[in-house]
């Protein structure tokens, strides 16, 4: 006698993640696995614990987010919100070389301040929301096991390895041969505990809480290759990094390094993030050409790219992407009274605008459309009535020749507190054509949400629902079948996730059920739900009926159920090896 189904989903339009055509189907689940996939109406449902009639709805594999920073948030928010509401059932964390383990006892202050600086996690939330009561990577994973609502895999971060082995010497120094060997042993131990691989950063934008280059940026090439080689010795592992080439385009020597790095680990190397802007086509072409050259040399290097324009807010008061503009950092790092005086100076304004328009601006050039910035919250009588208005329109009313001057006048009137919503310069038809072109490139994958990071500045966790709503239903840039494949089986295959990313018999029952006519993201807004009363940008989901992790419903009609069936994904057990070749 057949085992009764735990969950029966009937009359669904099944988009199974393979890219194949959709079909009407019934899907049955027992013990967290899909056990039956049949034609609609053919499955026996009597005795099933739960039957869901999915008439008119799409059933797809749960979405996989390959680049998050949920390393801290999962401790105070085990649901992984708002990713869980947007159909994401699996997240990869520990990216860019930043992890919370392994940890030196008593080093939490340094790590928290670093994470606050480089990943925009409120320091007060990190201090209040975490007890930092772990040392090894195994300890850290053990704290999460059985206590999360999404599946989560964690890379082992280079900065944590260096701090654990070198202490304060990790910043400002190359490692000795003995220290490199100690890091190799620690990385191996962390991977054996379940780490999915190794991540690092060489990017100039990554500085610690003291303003110094983060630990990994002091590493020699030999150290990096030695650590990559450890990954080659363990099943189901991968590599990830960030660099200046990710921001500006890759010079030849960095392409050489990526090839060596991928080959040393004999694993794919993914990086974040390929930005597509028709106003900077040379950067886009350079980065794709770099990926092609890596493939020709027998390496596998994969660029992550966001398929939507990510909403952000900024201000001249708090650290944000504006600080990354060429030579803006020293000005925006001044004490507020001195900063205001500098921003009033016409010569300083001219200098800042010129530097932002220079070839050095790189990817941050997409933030220089000063006239299309929208004013958010304001805080002074002088700015009353400006919220929701474009800077260019305000400049025209005031008779200002330059919207940049208008923008600075507004923020100075608010003592720099004004919330700013940058208008993207890459929302033109040609940029969208180039994005669609990139999705078909063999070395490009969707992702780069940074979910769990930059909490008060950007919100990328909702990219899955926005992608389907905007690019499939709205712009009609691709089919629903292809879109789902890009969000599911493609990242699953890169990371070697066993039995995930597709709906088939034997696969994990990580599933999302949604209305293709209404699926969308809510508008962004600030919520004060982080530890210590700190805030984050947040957007719920629309048109997502149910999200299941291992056959257990974790979200229903845009509301989390509070159930925590997620698994900590461990290398070898939950992943299989994907090689560079």
Provide mean pLDDT across the span 390-413.
Answer: 96
Q: What is the pLDDT of residues 108-118, one digit of tens each?
A: 999 999 999 99
Note the residue count of the chain.
Answer: 581
Provide mean pLDDT across the span 476-496.
Answer: 98
What global pTM score does this model have? 0.94
> Assign residue 501 a region: left if phi > 0, alpha if psi is -120 to 50, beta otherwise?
left
Helix intervals (H) in 60-176: 73-76, 108-119, 123-129, 137-144, 158-166
Quote the mean pLDDT of the chain.
96
Q: Which domains does the chain have, with CATH numbers?
A: 63-309+426-494+504-541 (3.20.20.140), 312-421 (no CATH)
DSSP 470: I
Q: How confident is the model at residue 456 (pLDDT cuts 50, 70, 90)?
A: confident
Are 196 and 495 contacting, i.e. CB atoms less than 8 angstroms apart? yes
Closest CA to 465 of 531, 525, 518, 408: 518
Summarize the chain as % helix, strand, coil (round to 5): 40, 20, 45
Q: What is the pLDDT of residues 175-227, one digit of tens each?
A: 999 999 999 999 999 999 999 999 999 999 999 999 999 999 999 999 999 99
Q: Is 468's pLDDT higher than 80?
A: yes
Q: What is the pLDDT of residues 325-345, one digit of tens each?
A: 999 999 999 999 999 999 999
Q: What is the pLDDT of residues 353-365, one digit of tens each?
A: 999 999 899 888 8
Q: Which residues pair with 374 in a beta bridge?
A: 390, 421
Q: Is 160's pLDDT higher than 60?
A: yes
Q: Is 1's pLDDT higher than 70?
A: no
Q: How confident is the model at residue 423 (pLDDT cuts 50, 70, 90)?
A: confident
Q: Is 168's pLDDT higher than 80?
A: yes
pLDDT of 63 reads 99
Q: What is the pLDDT of residues 91-107, one digit of tens each?
A: 999 999 999 999 999 99
The string of DSSP letters for 357-370 reads TSGGGGGGGGG--G
How, if at all, do strands 238-242 and 197-201 pair? parallel
How, if at all, do strands 7-14 and 568-569 pair? unpaired
Q: Is 90's pLDDT higher than 90?
A: yes
CA distance 520 to 542: 5
Closest CA to 265 of 551, 29, 581: 581
């Amino acid at each position: 006698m057949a085992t009764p189904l735990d969950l029966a989903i009937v009359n669904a339009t099944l988009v199974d993640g393979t890219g194949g055509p959709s079909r009407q189907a019934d899907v049955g689940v027992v013990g967290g696995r899909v056990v039956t996939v049949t034609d609609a109406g053919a499955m026996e449902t009597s005795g099933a614990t739960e039957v869901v009639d999915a008439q008119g709805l799409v059933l797809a594999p749960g979405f996989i987010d390959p680049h998050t920073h949920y390393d801290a948030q999962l401790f105070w928010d085990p649901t992984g919100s708002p990713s869980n509401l947007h159909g994401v059932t699996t997240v990869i964390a520990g990216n860019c070389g930043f992890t919370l383990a392994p940890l030196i006892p008593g080093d939490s202050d340094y790590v928290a301040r670093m994470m606050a600086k480089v990943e925009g996690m409120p320091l007060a939330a990190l201090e209040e929301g975490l007890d930092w009561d772990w040392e090894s990577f195994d300890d850290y994973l053990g704290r999460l096991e059985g206590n999360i609502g999404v599946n989560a895999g964690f890379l082992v971060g280079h900065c944590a390895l260096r701090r654990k082995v070198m202490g304060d010497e990790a910043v400002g120094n190359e490692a000795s041969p003995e220290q490199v060997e100690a890091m190799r042993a620690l990385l191996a131990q962390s991977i054996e505990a379940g780490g999915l691989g190794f991540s690092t950063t060489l990017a100039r934008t990554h500085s610690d809480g003291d303003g110094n280059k983060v630990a990994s940026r002091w590493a020699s090439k030999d150290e990096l290759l030695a650590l990559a080689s450890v990954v080659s010795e363990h099943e189901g592992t991968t590599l990830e990094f960030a660099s200046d080439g990710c921001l500006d385009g890759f010079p030849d020597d960095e392409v050489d390094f990526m090839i060596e790095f991928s080959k040393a680990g004999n694993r794919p190397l993914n990086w974040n993030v390929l930005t597509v802007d028709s106003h900077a086509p040379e950067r886009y072409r350079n980065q794709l050409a770099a990926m092609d050259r890596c493939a020709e040399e027998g390496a596998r290097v994969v660029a992550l790219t966001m398929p939507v324009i990510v909403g952000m807010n900024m201000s001249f008061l708090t650290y944000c992407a504006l600080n990354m503009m060429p030579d803006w950092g020293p000005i925006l790092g001044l004490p507020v009274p001195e900063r205001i005086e500098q921003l009033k100076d016409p010569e300083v304004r001219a200098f800042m605008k010129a530097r932002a328009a220079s070839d050095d601006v790189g990817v941050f050039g997409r933030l220089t459309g000063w006239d299309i910035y929208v004013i958010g919250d304001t805080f002074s009588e002088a700015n009353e009535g400006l919220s929701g208005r474009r800077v260019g329109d305000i400049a025209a009313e005031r008779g200002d020749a330059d919207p940049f001057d208008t923008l600075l006048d507004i923020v100075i009137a608010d003592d720099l507190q004004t919330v700013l919503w940058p208008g993207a310069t890459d929302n033109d038809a040609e940029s969208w054509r180039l994005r669609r072109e990139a999705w078909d490139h063999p070395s490009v994958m969707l992702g780069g949400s940074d979910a769990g990071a930059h909490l008060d500045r950007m919100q990328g966790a909702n990219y899955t629902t926005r992608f389907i709503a905007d690019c499939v239903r709205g712009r009609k840039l691709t089919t629903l079948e292809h879109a789902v494949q890009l969000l599911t089986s493609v990242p699953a295959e890169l990371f070697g996730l066993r039995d995930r990313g597709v709906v088939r018999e034997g696969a994990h029952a990580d599933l999302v059920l949604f209305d293709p006519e209404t699926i969308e993201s809510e508008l962004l807004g600030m919520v004060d739900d982080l530890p210590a009363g700190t805030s984050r940008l947040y957007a719920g989901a629309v048109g997502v009926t149910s999200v299941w992790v291992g056959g257990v419903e974790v979200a229903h009609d845009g509301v989390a159920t509070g159930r925590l069936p997620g698994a900590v994904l461990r290398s070898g057990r939950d992943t299989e090896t994907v090689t560079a070749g």
